[in-house]
Homo-oligomer: A and B are copies of this chain.
Amino acid sequence: MTTDFTATRDAFVLPEGVIYLDGNSLGPLPKAAAARVAQTVTAEWGQMLITGWNKAGWMDQPARVGDRIARLIGAEPGTVVLGDTLSIKVYQALASALEMNPGRKVILSDSGNFPSDLYMAEGLCRTLGPDYSLRVVEPEAVLDAIDDTVAVTMITEVDYRTGRRHDMTAITARAHEQGALTIWDLAHSAGALPVELAKVGADFAVGCTYKYLNSGPGGPAFIYVAPRHAETARPALSGWLGHESPFAFDLAYRPGRGIERMRVGTPPVLQLAALEAALDVWDQVDLADLRAASLSLTDQFIAGVEAACPELTLATPRDHDRRGSQVSFRHPQGYAIMQAMIARGVIGDFRAPDILRFGFTPLFIGAEDVANAVEILAEVMAKRLWDRPEYHARAKVT
């Protein structure tokens, strides 16, 4: 398979005059998704009504879609299921891992993790009681901090701010050596770069679908459980669709078979329809091609910006192995600079306190877009366009 990125680009709606470098936050609309969602609404919900659960396959959709995502993250068939939000899936993975490693009470994470993962861990520890704790170290200190007190590591592979990529193989190996389990958050990995969960030997993984996988705002999350844990993991959030026999309506909970037990409540059928259409684009993509194209784009952007904008400090590793599919620069006026960029059609985003973040998604971004984005950023910096008052007003979401 060789990926034709002209074809994948043509599969998306990209508004006129926009260079969209924020697919790492919310992927653009796949053209096929609009029709697919409309069909789900009018032909399925509208005409099949309740019978859509069987006739339209809504009930099996979370696992069916899970298998399609499994291919993109190097997971075995039948190990991935969709539903809920990423935070909820983090909680299920954490609760399962802590119960499976009962002699230990420490969750290890790092300060580069997405805060919601830390908050969920904090909430779980609060519920479990004072013996349990979340230990947060600097990203560089993770490997050495894995000792025989750690029950589970909870690490996001690619840092949402800097794009720094952890060494999944080394951390997983070290965790297992020390008797710890591993949870990998793939929010900025799935669809961004090749992931090899089975090969690495990861225990649990979670991720979201509205970033690089382009499922639309509020698309459901996914969870992976390694086959060796599938029948022992207990998700804590034990909802009826994770029951062995949901429609028996038993009063007592019995965990469902394998990955099915990670389901909780009624799946979000409309969001899943958009996701299914978005995944059609991925059927044409070889992940090695994607990675090569992504590194070429991020290299080009780093070189271009460093040459043209000496005031900006690169926050993303230069080393390919340590880089996700985004490039971030630091500047004290990062917020206003990004506003000036957006006003000129280059959409990236800002992450407090000083990060300008640009996502490079080869499915719809090419070398010419990168060259144009560099030129616009260079102009914003050279002419201090960010100094205009209109770029300093804060919106609620940035």
What is A's interface to B at a CB cutoff of 8 Å?
13, 15, 18, 20, 22, 25-26, 28-29, 33-34, 37-38, 41-42, 44-47, 49-54, 58-60, 84-88, 91, 95, 111, 114-116, 118-120, 122-124, 126-129, 136, 161, 208, 210, 216-221, 234-243, 247-253, 264-272, 274, 342, 347, 349, 351-352, 395-398
List the B side residues contacting A349 at CB < 8 Å. 50
A84 to B265, CA, bound (A): 9
Q: How far is the CB of A160 from chain B (nearest CB, A)?
A: 8
List the B side residues contacting A120 at CB < 8 Å. 237-239
CB distance A251 to B111 under 8 Å?
A: yes
List the B side residues contacting A33 at CB < 8 Å. 41
List the B side residues contacting A208 at CB < 8 Å. 266
From the candidates B18, B41, B119, B269, name the one contacting A253 in the complex (CB within 8 A).
B119
Q: How far is the CB of A357 from chain B (nearest CB, A)?
A: 11
- How many copies of this chain does the complex contain? 2
Q: A161-B249, A216-B270 are in contact. List 16 more A-B contacts (CB 8 A).
A: A13-B47, A18-B49, A26-B50, A41-B274, A44-B217, A45-B217, A51-B347, A58-B217, A59-B396, A84-B88, A87-B265, A119-B239, A126-B234, A127-B127, A218-B271, A270-B270
From the candidates B50, B85, B234, B235, name the one contacting A347 in the complex (CB within 8 A).
B50
List the B side residues contacting A161 at CB < 8 Å. 249
List the B side residues contacting A240 at CB < 8 Å. 87, 114-116, 119
From the candidates B20, B45, B247, B397, name the one contacting A49 in the complex (CB within 8 A).
B20
CB distance B29 to A45 under 8 Å?
A: yes
Q: How far is the CB of A214 from chain B (nearest CB, A)?
A: 10
Which residue of chain B lies nearest to A272 when distances are taken between CB atoms in the complex? B218
CB distance A34 to B41 under 8 Å?
A: yes
